[in-house]
Structure 1
Amino acid sequence: MKYKILPICVAACLSAAAATYTYVGDVNNDGEVTIADVTSLVNIVLSEEASDNVMTDVNEDNEVSVADITSLVSLVLDGEAPRKVMLDDSDLSEAADVVEDDEDMPAYGDYIENTTFTSTVTITYDGNSASVSGKPTGVSITTSGAHVTIISAIKNVKYVLTGNSTDGSFKIYSEKKFCLTLNGVDLTNPHGAAINNQCGKTLYLVLPEGTDNHLADGDTYAEVELEDQKAAFFSEGQIIFSGKGRLNVDAVGKSGITSDDYIRFRPGTHINVTSTANHGVKANDGIYIDGGVLNVMATAHGVKGINCGGVMEVNGGRTTVITTGNPIIETTELGNDTTSCAAVKADTLLTITGGTLCLKSSGDGGKGINCNNNIVMTGGDVTVVAQGVKDLAAPKGVKCDGTMSVTGGAFYTYSAQSKPLDVQGGVTVGDGHAGYTVTERSVHITF
């Protein structure tokens, strides 16, 4: 017998200051996974009544059945259950961002507060059409149904999108940086990117407080010669997210959010990204998470939840990433080349100074963190879980080709069938740590 589990929203990963964790299989919520939980789960399954207790879905197939009892018995016999990692859509209380007002500092240009926008263009989507108000000199605007194309040669322009369309888009060619405000827009482009920025300058993406926004692509893209559109929300230039509104991005054709430059998430933002085709969030030159809520769910072969080609920094906020998928196997002259899933893929330095980072990867050989360079952690609260099988590749909590140092915060990693922590250059744990526990399945460091 089996039945569906009722969906609820659970805050599974909290800040280090309120470090409370749940564990897979802790059905009776006593902080341990024991035979008592098996008894509780058996009684729930036999009752055939739907439950709002997410801990009962041990194998995470969105059903509660005898299969969950089998999985729970295996965890009890193994002697160690992993932490539970779930997407957390709850609000986050965090300090306001401190605006950089020194023009000589590199981050000065990332703060929209340091730019004055003198022209506003409002685009209202309504089904199969879009209307435009405000057309400053130097800005050309064309519409085809609900597909809007902007060509701009002037600076200090703010574009406001509102309304809804299931067959629309916003595409811009601009010689200058600009502001794009999503003011309660629901936009789907069945033939490509919902937002397509062909400008290599900064895109300030503002989410006004109280707004809910949604962007989605289609499963096939109409390609344009000499142009990229790599995601439901694509930008050639930097994307700076700010504001206290919400943005949901659903990708079925390509990635969720992609920048060919870098992406910065500022405090206050609330962004949910789901991709069933490619990566969740990808940036070529860097990803900076300064705050806000970021949830990423990516499901595909070899997919990365967050894929960063440059430096990645986690300085605040609450970021939860879950990936599911088997590896991509490519046969070469040297043998098979395996590309596994990873919740976070960092091609260079990964730095964690604050915030909460919760990562989980399942599927054959999935990695929680896969870093080609060094990992430096001085603060924050990190949970990494690899729950995949070990058939074609090894599922590791953290795989790091360089060195790793932990001198502050709280760090936990677990792997069900391989190394929880695999660091080629060695791990350095700073003096003054409160705990440093290593088991066959996990590594736990606290300060």
Structure 2
Amino acid sequence: MKNKKLQNFVLPMACTLFLFACSKDGGNNSQNSNTSSFSDINVSEYISENINYDEEDFVTNWEEEDPIYITLAGNEISYDESAAVMTSGSTVTIRSGGVYVLKGNLDDGQIVVDAPDTGKVQLVLNGVDINNSKSSAIFIKEAEDTVITVAEGTENHVSDGKTYTEDDGSGEPNAAIFSKDDLTINGTGILEVDGNYDNGIGSKDDLRIMGGTIKVTAVDDAILGRDLVAIKNGTFDINAGGDGIKSTNTNEEKGMIAIENGTFSITSGTDGIQAESSLYIAEGTFHLTSGGGSPETIEVNQEMMGGQPWGDSEAEETEAADTASTKGLKANVDIAIGGGKFELDTLDDAIHSDANIIIMNGEFSILTGDDGVHAENELLIANGSIHVNKSYEGIEGKTVIINDGDISVVTADDGINVSDGSSASVGPGEGMEMESAGNALLTINGGNVYVDAGGDGLDANGSIVITGGTTIVSGPTDAGNGALDYDGTLNISGGTLITSGSSGMAQTTSDTSEQNSIMMTYSETQKAGTLIHLEDSDGNTIATIKPEKDYQTVVISTPEIVKNNTYVLYSGGSSTKVESNGISTLNYEKGEKIVEFIVADTVTYVNESGISEAPTNNMGRPGSNDGQGQRGTPPTGNFDGGQGRGSTGSSSQ
């Protein structure tokens, strides 16, 4: 096997690093670092610069390479007797470098490459059907470099048996195509692999796939590379009892998956694409179903608030460790996505990293039984279209930064959740815990963000910063949650924020904000679909919104809300155009005038009688948090304040 030069490439993410190290060059060991800015990462260029290929990885022509032809006919094998080929029964062993063209059917046999230090071995599959009932059908035992070329215009089938009687004592080989050294698959033909024993295609070192149509069915993992899986292009149809595509080396400088392009249809019993270290995707089309897909209904743990367990957390962690992982895109270190189209239907998290996630662009349609996008540490969304259409929680991380994009989440529990576990109990009470603010931070700098939450809409075990964009929160309807839930501060300096939901845990923006806000609390719950319209005294529209759920509290913050100006709030009426996030953009027909008021403070509290004091929610905290958040057992009883429209008397000030 050729020597390798190890290179480290760092992708900074706030105070943490993406670590990237993959090469395929001969030479002495060396280390180089390459840094780029947090918001200026071209994932495609990054992969192409740092995943190195040898010239032979691209070579698919073979007719002019003085090839050795091997013809398979049942259990009979014919070839040029002068070639470095040995046969024993129906086993073909290739002993030297060169180009070997295989054609025909091998009913119960094996192709073995055992050619140490003799140059590249290129196996050309030129229309083969190779089956082995006792071990791998193709076994690269030892070679400096092996390339399997799937010949243009051919269909090829490789399969193993359900039980192995031959291995080297270490449980290997364990795949229909198995390599102990580096393996490259190229060509434009069709390769169909049945891994009836364990895995489909497996390499103990690097696995590179350059193109072709690859169809894999496997009892366990379909495509497996220990140190690296690098896919340049291709069409993949994968059905796996375990993971679809997987790397296994726990060394953070290895165990990577890098995908530059391709079309992927993956149905997996566990994870769809799982990198033991980091996962990089530049482009591609991905249809992933993991663990049978998302459940029809998602049960919400009523003992969970703000992402913090109220039960036995140690028992819950043990239970989670014993449960098979059924995620869509998963990495134990980092995930970087430059673009592509993703349809993810998963039992567990759709996109999950034990460290950091960066999404530069892409189109995402997500159905999941748990989180849509989950980073244990940092999460950056620079752009893209991300639609989490079903989830337990939508977007989660210790730090979440949204710079741009079209983002919507529909959740059974919290919509966007930031938590770092740093909150501390500051005062026990009967059925209630007081918590100081943690260090988690949600930052929204731009884009269109829509949250339809069954639990808290924007939930921060720490603080929230909004500098731009349009953020709309619809829900929750129960008084045990709030459209906004933060323990530190919510400072807004730009953009539009509109929330509607229950009043029991309602909060608004902090009075330290640069941008003004109003918080309207109705005496009774308003019906879903009842328009909310705010305009200034000259009749200029500030905001018109059509909530999809019942609501009792509304928060509106826009740059057009100016101190010492007069505003009028209307309820009901109609609009000829309502956007998907509930914003009305055309021809509002006025409903009932509810209240007229003057904005005198950074946060103005309003009810149907006019200016009011800051309301106190069910947890004893005011609508604008003072930095000492409180969490406790949700109150019992009728949380929504009754049903139907309440008194709508108006006053002016």
Please tell me the TM-score bracket, short chain as reference.
0.5 to 0.7
- How far apart are 1:295 and its partner, in Å? 1.4
- Are 1:436 and 2:407 an aligned pair? yes
Matched with 2:57 is 111
Paired with 1:286 and 1:110, the residues of 2 have a C-alpha distance of 18
Q: How does 1:378-397 map to 2 (within 5 A)?
A: 378-386=338-346, 388=347, 395-397=348-350
Q: Which amino acid aligns with 1:304?
A: D
Paired with 1:109 and 1:311, the residues of 2 have a C-alpha distance of 21
Paired with 1:373 and 1:362, the residues of 2 have a C-alpha distance of 22
Paired with 1:443 and 1:166, the residues of 2 have a C-alpha distance of 55
**% same residue:** 26
- Are 1:306 and 2:245 an aligned pair? yes
Distance 1:109 1:252, change over 3 A: same
- Is contact 1:125–1:162 with CA below 8 Å preserved after alignment? yes
Q: Which amino acid aligns with 2:126?
A: N
- Are 1:424 and 2:385 an aligned pair? no
- TM-score, structure 2 as length reference: 0.45
Distance 1:443 1:106, change over 3 A: farther
Paired with 1:114 and 1:210, the residues of 2 have a C-alpha distance of 13
- How far apart are 1:401 and its partner, in Å? 0.2
More deviation, 428-437/161-170: 428-437
Q: Which amino acid aligns with 1:196?
A: F
Paired with 1:250 and 1:407, the residues of 2 have a C-alpha distance of 36
- How far apart are 1:135 and its partner, in Å? 2.8
- Is contact 1:357–1:383 with CA below 8 Å preserved after alignment? yes
Comparing both structures, which one devotes a greater share of its residues to strand? 2
SS across alignment from 1:297:
strand
Paired with 1:249 and 1:440, the residues of 2 have a C-alpha distance of 39
Instruction: Pick 1 or 2: higher relative contact order, CA cutoff 8 A, min separation 6.
Output: 1
Distance 1:184 1:315, change over 3 A: same
Paired with 1:318 and 1:342, the residues of 2 have a C-alpha distance of 17
- Is contact 2:209–2:230 with CA below 8 Å preserved after alignment? yes
Comparing both structures, which one devotes a greater share of its residues to helix? 1
CA RMSD of aligned residues (A): 2.8
C-alpha distance after superposition, 1:342-393 (max 9, x if no partner): 111111111111111221102575211221011111122222211x4xxxxx
Matched with 1:185 is 128
- Are 1:348 and 2:277 an aligned pair? yes
Unaligned 5+ runs, structure 1: 1-101, 325-340, 389-394
SS across alignment from 2:59:
helix
Matched with 1:132 is 79
Q: How does 1:180-329 map to 2 (within 5 A)?
A: 180-225=123-168, 228-267=172-211, 269-276=212-219, 278-299=220-241, 303-309=242-248, 310-324=255-269
Paired with 1:204 and 1:241, the residues of 2 have a C-alpha distance of 6
- Is contact 2:57–2:210 with CA below 8 Å preserved after alignment? no
Paired with 2:108 and 2:367, the residues of 1 have a C-alpha distance of 43
Paired with 2:336 and 2:58, the residues of 1 have a C-alpha distance of 29
SS across alignment from 1:178:
strand
- Is contact 1:314–1:354 with CA below 8 Å preserved after alignment? yes
- How far apart are 1:165 and its partner, in Å? 2.4
SS across alignment from 2:95:
strand
- Is contact 1:413–1:421 with CA below 8 Å preserved after alignment? no
C-alpha distance after superposition, 1:11-49 (max 9, x if no partner): xxxxxxxxxxxxxxxxxxxxxxxxxxxxxxxxxxxxxxx
C-alpha distance after superposition, 1:89-132 (max 9, x if no partner): xxxxxxxxxxxxx9x99323453439998542222111122112
- Is contact 2:182–2:207 with CA below 8 Å preserved after alignment? yes
Unaligned 5+ runs, structure 2: 1-48, 249-254, 293-323, 384-402, 417-446, 449-653
- How far apart are 1:435 and its partner, in Å? 0.5
SS across alignment from 1:107:
coil
Q: Which amino acid aligns with 1:407?
A: M
SS across alignment from 2:272:
strand
